[in-house]
Amino acid sequence: SLLFIFCAVFALPACKRTEEGLKNDWKFAKERWDKHKKNYPALGALLDKQLKDAEAIMAEADKLSNFEEKTKKVGEAVAAINTGFIAELNTVEYNKDEIKKKTEKIKKQKFGKANLKKAENALIDGDNAVAEAERILKNSVATNDEASAAAKEANKVLSNAKKGLDAVAKLK
């Protein structure tokens, strides 16, 4: 989640950490990267470059014997794999998950006749937003800035759908 990224980037050096915790931080970041690589093949080359940079930092961390220095370096590696357009992709995934949760909740709600059509439309809009976000991110891009712009556009589409779902969830 976004909280994890914040903690990994900013609070990690201040926290009492363990070797196992450091490994888990990297493992979690790498798993998210793997998911992005699978879900967004058009961004593959850019994802690979960012991973390569992060792995180089991790290799430096592995050479360190001082635990505080190692902790800081692992935090840098985790940040490197979660920065820029990848941070935007993390938000895309979060927004897609939120839409899914909100959709499930709305499907279980009972609506009066007056609000039923609004609910149906919001559900359709949510599905369409996810499809549109995925379409946006299927386009091949050449730079991190282009990837970031595409992910931001996808997030805008998803955020608008979330707002619509939130409004409908309040109806009866």
pLDDT recorded at residue 52 = 96
State the angle between helix axes of 19-39 and 44-63 in degrees (0 to 180), rounded to the nearest 10.
170
Instruction: Say yes or no: 50 and 71 in one domain.
Output: yes
Which domain covers residue 43, as residue numbers? Answer: 2-83
The beta strand positions in the chain, using DSSP E, are none
Instruction: Say yes or no: 164 and 148 in one domain.
Output: yes
Total number of domains in the chain: 2
CA–CA distance from 13 to each of 62, 74, 76, 87 (Å)?
Answer: 16, 9, 10, 20
CA–CA distance from 104 to each of 4, 96, 158 (Å)?
Answer: 25, 12, 16
Return the structure tokens found at 120.
Answer: 């149906």
The last residue of a domain, from among 83, 104, 124: 83
pLDDT tens for the chain, 172 residues: list them. Answer: 555 554 555 454 445 667 788 788 889 999 999 999 999 999 999 999 999 999 999 999 999 999 889 889 999 999 999 888 999 999 999 999 999 999 999 999 999 988 999 999 999 999 999 999 999 999 888 899 999 999 999 999 999 999 999 999 998 8
Instruction: Say yes or no: 163 and 95 in one domain.
Output: yes
Give pLDDT tens digits for 149-166. 999 999 999 999 999 999
The last residue of a domain, from among 56, 83, 110: 83
